[in-house]
Amino acid sequence: MRATTAAALRRVLPARLLVRRAEARAASAWETSPAERERALTVMKAIVGGTPRAGELDELARQYLIDRAAHRELFWQRWKMPSMDSRSTEHVQAALSSGRGVLASSCHLGPFFLQFWPLTEMRSGYGVFGPWFFEEPSPDHWGRRLAHWRKELERRDERRLSSQGVFATLRGLLEQGELAIIYFDMPGSRRTQFLGKPVTLATGTARLAIAADALVLPLRARRDGHHVRTDVQALLDPREFSGYEQLHDALAGVHERSILERPGALEDPNRRGAWEGGASAREWARPELIHGRP
């Protein structure tokens, strides 16, 4: 376990080679491991069921295995700040120069643990994490993963907030013109048409934006080999929507298009801490109240 999670050992070899090796092993697992293949197919059925890409199930499931392996390899490397193209940079600058709070919205797509970094290089920001993130790291693989995550976050200007009771805190920060990020693809109360099926999604992003009059910046992490890029879409202004429901639905459309460009890069929606078995090709039903770490 220590050998596979030691960032110092991994830095001996170039990230390019390590990612290629991980991709090759995952591609081989698709051919040789029925269990891995079936698991990947199950994940992809839940993601693309009901979408125009449902007919590409086998290829997308294979890509899921490859992306998952590459993301894992990148996580254990020393993190490098993603690049942004000129259009994404313009979108961020327009939002940050508005004088209003800015709420970045993202899904667990691609190497999402890196995506907020280019924004915090331009202005310090706040990330929202589940209570599990603030626990004492345990002496197992999960604990080493948590410790590595924390250590890497310390290198960038991102403050951490617990998701428990965070709405009022975030609203106050956004009203003061601060920058923050929260995740859109989490279970909640609003039945939303998302990824070709009804999904019970959390509405915190839209409700916060309306309450704090904050601009919303949809973003995603996109991997190209061992390089990671942060793509930022055009901002959404809550003043242009009649309520949080309309803003929420518009944001769902933006994130759906990003996910369907590369469905295999999305985290398993049935992972612990998310839909926990409630996500299928026909719907993602809200799980029971979740306790503990994902």
Q: Where are the domains of the chain?
A: 2-76, 86-265
Give residue-wise pLDDT tens across range 52-96: 999 999 999 999 999 999 999 999 998 999 999 999 999 999 999
Among residues 253, 275, 218, 259, the alpha carbon closest in space to that of 67 is found at 259
pLDDT at site 13: 74
Stated pTM of the model: 0.92
Average pLDDT on 172-196 reads 96
The terminus-to-terminus CA distance of the chain in angstroms comes to 20
Strand 187-194 versus strand 197-201 pairing type: antiparallel
Are 5 and 141 within 8 A, CB to CB?
yes
Percent of the chain surpassing pLDDT 70: 94
Does residue 38 surpass a pLDDT of 70? yes
